[in-house]
Amino acid sequence: MRSVICRLVFSIAILQPSAQVSTPDSPTYVAAVVEYSPDTGSPGDSVADIVSKNVAQYVPLIRRAAEQEVDIIVFPECGLVTYGSSTKFATPLPHPDDRVNPCTDTSSNVAEAIRTLSCAARNHSIYVVVNLPEVHPCPDATNWSSSGVVYYNSNVVFDRNGTVVARYRKFNLFGEVWFNITSEAELSVFDTDFGVTFGIFTCFDIIFEKPAVSLAKVLGVRDVVFPTAWYSELPFLTAVQAQASWSYGLDVNFLGAGYSLPGEGSAGSGIYAGKEGPLVTTMPGVPTTQLLVAKVLKKTPRNTTPVLENVWNAGDSIEATPSPNIFSDVHRDNSGIWMMRDYLEPYETLLLTETEFFSTHTLCHNELCCDFEVAMHTDNQGQNSLGKSYIYRLAVFDGIRSYTFKTGGVQVCAVMFCTNNSLSSCGYEMETDEQERFATVFDYIHISGNFRLNNSLQLPNTLLEDYKVLSADAFEFTREEIPGESEVKVNMRTKKQNLNLLTFAIFGRDFSKDGGPVSQPSVDDTNHATVAHLLSPIATLLCMNSYFYVKFLV
C-alpha cells in the first residue's frame, strides 16, 4: 500500500514540479519526522563505522520524504551515533552565521557524515535536522591547536542548499556527563524559504523553562523541531503525551522525532498542531523506523511582548482548522515499551469508588486545591463479573519532583489510573492477560484549580490505553488570569464520553522551584486511600469541600 502511494506521489511531483515546495504564501508546509531504530553496527565496528551506516539509512529517508513533497525532515537525538557512544565520535560544526555549505565547500572542517547529509539536503532540496556530538575548542581557546576541547549534544540544520543554517547545543542534559553545556541556554532559531521560523530544542529540554518556553514566550516561535531519545514515564510523561501536551499548551506546531528502542524505554514521535491537536503520532513497542508525514497549517506570528508574563495567552485567538493527515503509516505494538513510573506517593489522592455515578470533590495539597466533577459508569455489557477494569484516583500535588538528573516544581490536578485500591498501584498498567475486562466510561470530567502564575506553565495532559492522546475536539482547556492575584484559573473538561482513558490532568510546572529538594509523603497522609471509601456518593455531592470530610474522618 505504502509503495503504491509513494509512487503515485512521485509521479505527481514529476508532472507538477512547481507544486514541489511550500512558499511564504502557502497556508501550509509539509513536515516529516522519523521514528528511527538505528543500525548499531557489527562486532568490531568503530563508532565512526556506525555513524556511516546510519548516514546510509538517513539518505534514503531524506529522498523518500522529498518524494512526498516534504519541506523539512527531523531525525531523532542519538540516531547517528546510537546510545552509549558518549563522545567517541564528534564533529566540528560551523557557526550558522558563517553560512558554510559542507557539501560544496570541501575545505570546511566537518566530519564526512556532515558533508554527506549536507549533500543529501542539497540533492533533494529539503531542510534536514539531525543530532550528533559536536566537538569545539574550549570557549577561551583561540584555535584547534590549543589543547582543550568541549563536547556538546548538538542539533544541526541544513537548508535546501545544504548550508548549515542552525546549530543548537542541548542545555538540559539527562545525565550525559561526557557533554558540556553552554553558559546560558541558546535560543536557537532558523528561518525557512517557506516563511516559517523554527525554534530548536532537544529531549529533556522540554521539561524546563530555558530554552524551550523562552523560545515561545520571548521569541514568539510558533513552530518547533524536537529531536529526542525519550524515556517514557507513567502516568504523565510518556513520549507522545509529553510532546502533545507541550505543543497544545504553548499552541506551537511541534515536530518530534524519537529514537526507537522500546526495550530501553525510548519510542514515540509525532507531528502536532498546537491547540488543533496531534496530526500524526506513533509509539511502537518494537524497534521501528517509520517516516511520519503531515501537512501543517502555518500559525500566525505571535505578537511578542518580551518579558511580559504569559504573553502567549493574551488575546491569542485560534483561527486554524485541523489539516488532513497525509500518509500516516502508523501502527503500534505496545508490548515491549519499558516504562518508568512517577513517584506518586506524596500526592494527595482520593479513590473514585465504583458506586459514584456523579461526584464533586475538592482536594488540596500544599497551596493547590483542585475541584473535580466526575460522571462515570462501568460498562460490563457482555463481560462476566470476574472482568477487571482500571480503578481511578483523583490526585493533587504541589511540590517538587525528581526528574532523575534534576528536580522541578510541579502543580498537578489529575484523574489517574490504578490497578487496585492502593495508591502504590497507580501508574502501573494491567498485565496483558488481564485484557478480558470491562471498561470504565467517563461521561464527563471537569477539573479546575488556581495555579501559581509567576514563572509557571500549565499544560493539558491526556493519555489513552494505546499511548495515544485525546484529540483536540475531545476536551477543552482554558487559562484565565485572576486580576490582582498572582494566580491563574485553569479549567479542563471533556467534551465527549471517553473510554480507555488512563490520565486526564492539568499538569503545571512551577519553574521558580526548580533545583529544590524533592517532596516526600507527609506522615499523616498514608491512610487517605482507604478513608475515601467511607464517603457516600450523596455526602460527596452535597458537601462543598470533601477535603474537609476526609480530614475530619482521619
- Point out the residues that are catalytic: 77, 170, 203
Please report, as a single letter, which amino acid is at residue 393. Answer: R
149 binds ligand NAG (CB under 6 A): no
Estimate the crossing angle of helix 2-15 against helix 47-67, to 10 degrees.
60
Q: How far apart are CA 474 and CA 495, in angstroms?
A: 5
Task: State residue 390 phi and psi, 5-degree precision.
Answer: -65, 150
Q: Return the number of the residue (334 or 425) whose C-beta is nearest ligand NAG.
A: 425
Is residue 497 within 8 Å of 441, Cβ to Cβ? yes
77 binds ligand NAG (CB under 6 A): no
Is residue 521 within 8 Å of 528, Cβ to Cβ? no
Q: How far apart are CA 209 and CA 218, in angstroms?
A: 11
412: left (phi over 0), alpha (psi -120 to 50) or beta: beta
Among 49, 193, 429, 465, binds ligand NAG (CB under 6 A): 193
Q: How far apart are CA 429 and CA 417, in angstroms?
A: 8
330 binds ligand NAG (CB under 6 A): no
| Least distance to ligand NAG, CB of residue 58, Å | 9
Among 18, 42, 143, 335, binds ligand NAG (CB under 6 A): 143
Binding mask 27-56 for ligand NAG (x = CB under 6 A): ------------------------------
Give Cα 109 to chain centroid, integer Å. Answer: 34
Q: How far apart are CA 519 and CA 479, in angstroms?
A: 26
Among candidate residues 397, 415, 289, the one with its CA nearest the CA of residue 352: 415
Q: How far apart are CA 121 and CA 474, in angstroms?
A: 39
Is residue 475 within 8 Å of 460, Cβ to Cβ? yes
526 binds ligand NAG (CB under 6 A): no
Q: Pick the piece of the chain touching ligand NAG (CB under 6 A) from 271-279, 285-293, 414-422, 498-506.
A: 414-422
Task: State residue 241 phi and psi, 5-degree precision.
Answer: -60, -45
Among 300, 303, 497, 512, binds ligand NAG (CB under 6 A): 512
Is residue 318 within 8 Å of 251, Cβ to Cβ? yes
Q: Return the number of the residue (55 or 374) whose C-beta is nearest ligand NAG.
A: 55
Q: Pick the piece of the chain touching ligand NAG (CB under 6 A) from 42-50, 153-161, 391-399, 463-471.
A: 153-161
Cell of 278: 496531534
Among 313, 425, 500, 545, binds ligand NAG (CB under 6 A): 425
Q: Return the number of the residue (118 or 266) whose C-beta is nearest ligand NAG.
A: 118
509 binds ligand NAG (CB under 6 A): no
Binding mask 103-142 for ligand NAG (x = CB under 6 A): -------------x--xx--x--------------x---x
| Least distance to ligand NAG, CB of residue 320, Å | 26
Q: Pick the piece of the chain touching ligand NAG (CB under 6 A) from 4-12, 31-39, 294-302, 416-424.
A: 416-424
| Least distance to ligand NAG, CB of residue 508, Å | 15
Q: Return the number of the residue (72 or 492) whose C-beta is nearest ligand NAG.
A: 72
Is residue 301 within 8 Å of 312, Cβ to Cβ? no
| Least distance to ligand NAG, CB of residue 504, Å | 21
Q: Pick the piece of the chain touching ligand NAG (CB under 6 A) from 77-85, 334-342, 356-364, 423-431.
A: 423-431
Q: How far apart are CA 536 and CA 550, in angstroms?
A: 12
349 binds ligand NAG (CB under 6 A): no
Residue with the closest Cβ to ligand NAG?
425
454 binds ligand NAG (CB under 6 A): yes
Among 428, 438, 444, 549, binds ligand NAG (CB under 6 A): 428
Is residue 502 within 8 Å of 525, Cβ to Cβ? no
Q: How far apart are CA 221 and CA 218, in angstroms?
A: 8
Cell of 324: 488532513
# chain residues binding ligand NAG, by CB under 6 A: 27
Please provide the DSSP assignment of 471-519 as one string: -GGGEEEEEEE-TTSSEEEEEEEESS-BSSEEEEEEEEEEGGGTTSPPP
Please report, as a single letter, which amino acid is at residue 303. Answer: N
Q: Return the number of the residue (357 or 405) whose C-beta is nearest ligand NAG.
A: 405
| Least distance to ligand NAG, CB of residue 215, Å | 18
| Footprint of ligand NAG (CB under 6 A) | 59, 116, 119-120, 123, 138, 142-143, 145-146, 150, 159-161, 177, 180, 193, 419-420, 422, 424-425, 428, 454-455, 486, 512
